Amino acid sequence: MAEIFYKSMNRRTFIKTGLAGIGALVTIGTGNSFGLRKSERKATRWALLADTHIPADVSNNYRGFYPYQNLQKVVPDIISALPDGVVITGDLARLTGELGDYANLKKLLNPIAEKSPVFMALGNHDNRENFVKVFDKVPGEKQPVKNKLVTVIERPPIRLIILDSLLYVNKVSGLLGKAQRQWLEDYLKECDNTPTILCFHHSLEDGDGDLLDVPRLFSAIKPIRKVKAILYGHSHAYGFSEFEGIHLINLPAVGYNFSDTEPVGWVEAKLTAEGGDFTLHAIAGSMNKDRSVKKLAWRV
Ligand SMILES: [Zn+2]
């Protein structure tokens, strides 16, 4: 099982180091844009998921939803969309981040991982040690932030940064923490002006169960104009809002909703240097917005 995730990384490293300039010779067989020269990449296409809540027991269910079956259902849909990559913004595991949860998650994601790299953030229902045991080889450039899993993904014309807001396993609130925020500020100062999207689990309200250092994060990124959007989950709701022109994109849950008015599903994104188109793929819950497209322009 590990091999396929490992292959994703090898393929990426191989292309980056070996054949990046040759363009047309690099065919992945999936129609994605890894092999294209930077100048040729006008857009990158992503599958965005949150709150998969995969259980060790496949029959586990909540509010009438079966998280294992839900992910199983969206996998072929994602594969047929041929994304350049997949991001899952945490709450990967059912409740407490058990090894069996991650083993099932890996099994379910393998058909995707054979074709596109899968990047995962940790949520409050994940366990960092157990996650790393099962996903021992993952794609992306891992960053030196102590006790946090932070990854930078350069996929022109966009950069994604996966941050880690897991504070305590199976307690609701989250925290990036001072060291990670400092790393982020330093990194954003140093990197080029590629439009950058931050991805992590926790929601951005001011409740006790949200990301507890939201004001500090916001004041840090507000003046850094290359930060264009934040992708997050946690609320099991689909919605768009803004802070100082930074788009805040709340991804729907794959596992289950908390309210009948919310969709269950995933979001297909086409990202350019100027903005993004976000298409909802609802599979359950409210189907009202299924296939609706939200168009966003990045701040300049
Ligand atoms: Zn959740």
Task: Using the mean position of ligand 1's atoms as its centre, give its distance from the Cα of residue 123 in Å.
Answer: 7
Q: How far is the CA of 164 from the centre of ligand 1 (A)?
A: 15
Ligand 1 centroid to 38 CA: how many Å?
36
Give the residue-averaged pLDDT of 219-244: 98
Residue 202 Cα, ligand 1 centroid: separation in angstroms? 9
How far does the centroid of ligand 1 lie from the alpha carbon of residue 73, in Å?
A: 18
**Cα of 30 to ligand 1 centre, how many Å?**
31
The C-alpha angle with vertex 210 and arms to 204 and 211, in degrees rounded to 5, equals 70
What separation in Å is there between the alpha carbon of 276 and the centre of ligand 1?
25
Give one word for 165, left, alpha or beta, with left for phi > 0 and alpha for psi -120 to 50: alpha
How far, in Å, from the CA of 112 to the mean position of ligand 1?
A: 22
The SS3 assignment for 50 reads coil
Q: How far is the CA of 92 from the centre of ligand 1 (A)?
A: 8
pLDDT at 10: 43
State the DSSP code for 192: -
- 140 vs 280, higher pLDDT: 280
**For the chain, the helix, strand and coil percentages under 3-state DSSP, each to the nearest 5:** 25, 25, 45
Distance 259 CA to ligand 1 centre (A): 13
Query: For residue 185, how far is its CA from the centre of ligand 1 (angstroms)?
Result: 27
Question: What is the reported pLDDT for 140?
Answer: 86
pTM for the model:
0.88
Per-residue pLDDT tens digits for 24-83? 333 333 444 455 555 567 999 999 999 999 999 999 999 999 999 999 999 999 999 999
Which residue, chain included where needed, has tokens 């509010």? 63
- Residue 19 pLDDT greater than 80, yes or no: no
The 10s digit of each residue's pLDDT in 252-285 is 999 999 999 999 999 999 999 999 999 999 999 9
Cα of 89 to ligand 1 centre, how many Å?
A: 10
What secondary structure does DSSP assign to 205-250, as a single string?
Answer: SSSTTSBTTHHHHHHHHTT-TTEEEEEE-SS---EEEEETTEEEEE
Residue 170, pLDDT score:
97
State pLDDT tens for residues 171-198.
Answer: 999 999 999 999 999 999 999 999 999 9
